[in-house]
């Protein structure tokens, strides 16, 4: 571990420590999260998911050189994607249990999702995660790949944000063998479905935050997979 790694770890500890030390800081976070959920989602994903990509770059290249990385464009796009994720999570969190509740074998599952941990709540969380990851996730991952490529085309320059995205061209150039064979077939069943099952077991105030933290973990997984290839 290099000196810069220790500095990054120290900064992370300093930022997170107040949430564990001072109850008022955590309570203010919960208050803001409840009053402005979409704004909170924007901030959480813009910071955490972008940080995950920075760590991934560190693993792949061995340094934190952000030349051409597009830190600001990535943070803004991740923030917007975070809003979309927060909305999708809300839709699936409410919709899937209500649908399952129609069947006698799943009776009470909607109420169980708002109660303490139980086998029924675990089943509900898994069902939500399964539905979200087999419908929403592939579209989201492909869109993220498109925006990622768009930023790279402009070498991370901020003006990429108001340039039209050549979606058709980028889609035709995506390595679908990797996108399908690894991103879809491996990360969805082996990472995202278990991770989001845990997410939907957690209290609602922590769900979007945990999803953003999972984005950090995935950035590291993708970086390690890239090195192995």
What pLDDT does residue 224 have? 65
Q: Is 206 exposed, middle or buried (0-12, 13-18, 19+ CB in 10 A)?
A: middle
pTM over 0.75: yes
Average pLDDT over residues 103-125: 92
pLDDT at position 157 is: 93
pLDDT at 229 over 60: no
Q: What is the pLDDT of residues 180-191, one digit of tens each?
A: 988 899 999 999
- State the CB neighbour count (10 A cutoff) for residue 53: 23
- Percentage with pLDDT > 90 across the chain: 56
Q: How far apart are alpha carbons 123 and 10 in whole angstroms?
A: 38
Q: Quick one: 103 and 173 in the same domain?
A: yes
52, 18: one domain: no
* Count of domains forming the chain: 2
Of the pLDDT bands very low, low, confident and very high (cuts 50, 70, 90), residue 226 is: low
Taking Cα atoms as reference points, which of 175, 216, 176, 172 lies closest to residue 47?
216
Show the CA angle centred on residue 64, arms to residues 5 and 206, nearest 5°: 65
- In this structure, are residues 82 and 49 in contact, taking their beta carbons and an 8 Å threshold? yes
Residue pLDDT, tens place only, 48-64 = 999 888 888 888 888 88
User: Does the CA dihedral 180-191-168-147 come out positive or negative?
Assistant: negative
* Same domain assignment for residues 42 and 146: yes
- Whether residues 18 and 103 fall in one domain: no
| Residues 71 and 94 grouped into a single domain | yes
1 & 68 share domain: no
Answer yes or no: do 78 and 176 share one domain.
yes
Which residues form the domain of 173? Answer: 37-228
pLDDT at 56: 83
Mean pLDDT for the chain overall:
89
């Amino acid at each position: 571990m290099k000196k810069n790694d220790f500095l990054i770890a120290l900064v992370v500890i300093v930022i997170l420590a107040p949430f564990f030390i001072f109850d008022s800081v955590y309570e203010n976070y919960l208050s803001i999260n409840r009053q402005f959920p979409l704004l909170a989602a924007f901030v959480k994903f813009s910071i955490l998911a972008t940080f995950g990509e920075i760590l991934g770059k560190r693993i792949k290249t061995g340094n934190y050189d952000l030349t051409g990385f597009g830190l600001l464009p990535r943070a803004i796009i991740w923030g917007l994607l975070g809003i979309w994720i927060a909305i999708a999570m809300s839709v699936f969190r409410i919709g899937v249990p209500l649908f399952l509740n129609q069947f006698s074998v799943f009776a009470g599952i909607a109420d169980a999702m708002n109660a303490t941990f139980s086998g029924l709540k675990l089943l509900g969380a898994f069902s939500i995660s399964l539905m979200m990851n087999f419908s929403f996730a592939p579209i989201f991952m492909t869109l993220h790949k498109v925006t990622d490529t768009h930023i790279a085309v402009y070498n991370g320059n901020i003006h990429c944000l108001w340039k039209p995205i050549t979606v058709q061209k980028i889609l035709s150039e995506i390595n679908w063998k990797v996108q399908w064979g690894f991103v879809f077939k491996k990360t969805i069943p082996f990472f995202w479905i278990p991770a989001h099952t845990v997410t939907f077991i957690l209290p609602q105030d922590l769900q979007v935050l945990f999803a953003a933290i999972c984005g950090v973990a995935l950035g590291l997984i993708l970086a390690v997979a890239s090195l192995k290839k």
